[in-house]
Amino acid sequence: MNLYTYCKSCKKDIKIKSQADTRHDLQMEKGREFKVNCLSCGSIEKKHVNDVKAEVNNKIIYFGIGLGVVATITLLYFYGAIGTLSGLIPILFWRQQMSSIKSFNSFMVKR
Ligand SMILES: [Zn+2]
């Protein structure tokens, strides 16, 4: 998943570079409030970890789709119809993303 917040000046999304899985992890990493730099208008703002939202990382979904297609073709060749089960791989990637996004967005730290 990707983490982002928004810029008060130009209302554009600002991406946050972090591997944190929850707001708590993000707070441990960056502090309860941290500075972000908007790449669109250049303004620097202080953001609270609760202002950060998680969204789907499309790269991971595409990776899952790619992996699913390759695995399906390979398994179809060797094992026949059962290989189509690997078409479920992108769905598993999607579900995993959705559950981590949900857990990130539903947990707020105390202000
Ligand atoms: Zn901005």
Structure confidence by residue, pLDDT tens digits, 62-75? 999 999 999 999 99
**C-alpha span between 21 and 104 (Å, rounded):** 6
How many angstroms does the Cα of residue 82 sit away from the middle of ligand 1?
50
CA of 43 to the centre of ligand 1 (A): 6
Who has greater pLDDT, 111 or 75?
Answer: 75
Report CA(22)–ligand 1 centroid distance (Å).
25
Q: Does residue 83 register a pLDDT over 90? A: no
53 CA to centre of ligand 1 in angstroms:
17
Report yes or no on whether pTM surpasses 0.85: no
pLDDT for res 84: 87
First-to-final CA distance of the chain: 24
State the distance from the centre of ligand 1 to the C-alpha of 44, rounded, in angstroms: 8
What are the domain boundaries of the chain? 2-55, 58-106
**What's the confidence (pLDDT) of residue 101?**
96
Q: Which tokens is 74 given?
A: 């390979």
| Mean predicted confidence (pLDDT) in 46-51 | 96
